[in-house]
Amino acid sequence: MLRRTGTTGLLVMALAACAGGGGAQAGAAPATRPEVATPATTQPTRPSASQSGEGDELRLVVSKMSVEEKVGQLFMPVLYGTAPGTVSGENQARYGAQTPAKVVAKYHLGGVILFPANIQGVDQVVNLTNGLQQASKGVPLLIGTDQENGLVSRMGALMTDFPGASEVGSTKDTALARAVAKATGQELRAVGVNLDFAPVADVNVDPRNPVIGKRAFGDQPGEVAKMVSASVKGFRDAKVAATAKHFPGHGDTNIDSHTGLPVIKHTKEQWERIDAPPFKAAIAAGVDAVMSAHIVFPKLDPSRDPATLSKPILTGLLRNKLGFQGVISTDALNMEGVRKKYNDAEIPVRAIQAGADLLLMPNDLPKAYNAVLAAVKSGKISQQRLDESVTRLLKLKQSRGLLPKAPVASAAQAAKVLRSAEHRKLAARVAR
């Protein structure tokens, strides 16, 4: 699958020796200016649970990738079109490549995120995700979406209409929360989506909150924590990666970080008591990723940088204090909350320096990609720091069965899973 056959053969052989099979899924993405070396990627398989083998094989994979390929792994843009070969002026203008498939190849992308504009029908989405995986000649893609259910349901045109988090939370039934997450994950996986930016782990403290509200499981930290933990386990049951968001807690604000920069005035003690419990529960449940919030939290970082760009928050708090070792994803980097203080070239570099691994939806992908590439080549971002993020991303892909080869989604099978009688019955049960 890799363009550099020598590297490919070496890596695949090394990974295959470590363990048995996995699979990957399909996705869509656009690209632009940089002309970079074609991917020399490697893919690890799922080794047996022994710690040494897994780490050694992933490090070998990373060591055989070019700097351009490693940088590409960090990015997850939105692409334009409903098929891998859709010719789009938007893709050309934004990424310097006409089709989603060409964008994936041009930037060696690690992932893509799907929105309603990418969705028309089951057969179409399966063709899109499979085609995007084929376009990724190196490591298979993370194909993500925001399927929280309720208010935020990017795949709602195809999927079972499950109640949102506030309704699930009001049942106080963790078994139902887990079942809904599992069913949601099964439907996503059936069409080739392998990562969900859910569950919301915010505690909706402020009833005027314009961005969280009913997207949260509730306003009581302990109850929200139980629901978040159950949801993470449900997604794992479905073999889909889960993402707890928005760290360190976006619940107590009346400003939307899409259009402004909220300031959370909680003390450290209030953060520990109110905001932290759901994230601690998610980590304890084995959550794959945690998404940062574009919020200022002065008592956690007096610099007044948004959390997405804050080393004290992402590395000091999330990594070191809470012990999270998985993937840290930014919230979308085209949101005003993260663009108030820095430009589109500075933002991705600062996010990586802060501790982020996955750079979601940069406002200007060519500028962001080239800025990170230049920062690595100049030493502003060390090779070690870059390798840490790439290794975490590969480990996530490996754990969800995406390495060494992406699984191929089946439209016929997806038609049986999406809106199945069982899932509709579950949705009705929650609603009651």
Residue positions annotated with a catalytic role: 258, 331
Beta strands in 67-134 (DSSP E): 75-76, 111-113
Q: What is the torsion angle, in degrees rounded to the nearest 10, for the CA atoms of residue 147, residue 215, residue 73 and residue 391?
A: -110
> What gap in Å lies between CA 178 and CA 176, rounded to an integer?
5
Amino acid at 253: T
Task: Pick the closest to residue 105 from 138, 67, 65 (CA basis).
Answer: 138
> What gap in Å lies between CA 311 and CA 317, rounded to an integer?
8
Beta pairing partners, 404? none
Token code pair at residue 146: 């925001």
- If residue 10 lies in a helix (H) or strand (E), which one and from where to where? helix 5-18
Let me know how long the chain is: 432
Token code pair at residue 184: 């949601």
Beta strands in 269-428 (DSSP E): 289-292, 327-329, 359-360
Concatenate the DSSP letters of all residues of 116-157 into one string. Answer: GGG-S-HHHHHHHHHHHHHH--SSPBEEEE-EEETTEETTTT
**With contact defined as beta carbons under 8 Å apart, do 386 and 71 qualify?**
yes
> What gap in Å lies between CA 282 and CA 280, rounded to an integer?
5
> What gap in Å lies between CA 181 and CA 427, rounded to an integer?
11
Beta pairing partners, 245? 200, 291
